[in-house]
Homo-oligomer: A and B are copies of this chain.
Amino acid sequence: MSNVKALPLLEPDVDPAVEPCCPPLTERPLTAEEAVRTAAMFKALGDPVRLRLFSSVASHQGGEACVCDISDVGVSQPTVSHHLKKLKEAGLLTSERRGTWVYYRVAPSVLAAMARMLGQYAP
């Protein structure tokens, strides 16, 4: 589904510089630049609220969820919006407004990149 070619590489709002990034962590030491890019992805999932939000979107039926469906994570609604924005900036989520509601869905490529870096340990 991500075959859309709309990749504004200059916008600081969305950061699509999260392409297939780095080799498995066991292959060789990461360079400084690789580490910065990769750490940003892990950092985005390094907060409990963000992790719950992401998991809610990822496990939602249809692969997408509107904010109203996932915003019961114990924090205020502006905070939910703030975390969703962070996840979007990290390239892990995409958002789309349809009528009244805003729907979020996962960006599979970034997750695949992260899994690949840890994949050497997965049997």
Contact = CB atoms under 8 A, between A and B. Distances in A.
Nearest to A33: B48
Interface of A: 25-32, 35-36, 38-40, 42-52, 54-56, 58-59, 70, 73-74, 106, 108, 111-112, 114-116, 118-119, 121-123
Contact of A29 (B31, B46, B56): B56
Counting from the closest, the 3 A-B pairs by CB-CB distance are A43-B46, A111-B121, A115-B118
29 contacts: A25-B51, A25-B54, A26-B55, A26-B59, A29-B52, A29-B59, A29-B70, A30-B51, A30-B52, A30-B55, A31-B52, A32-B52, A35-B48, A36-B48, A38-B48, A39-B46, A39-B47, A39-B48, A43-B46, A106-B121, A108-B121, A111-B121, A112-B122, A115-B115, A115-B119, A115-B122, A119-B119, A119-B122, A122-B122
Nearest to A54: B25
A59 B27 contact: yes
Nearest to A30: B55
Contacts of A70: 29
A48 B34 CA distance: 8
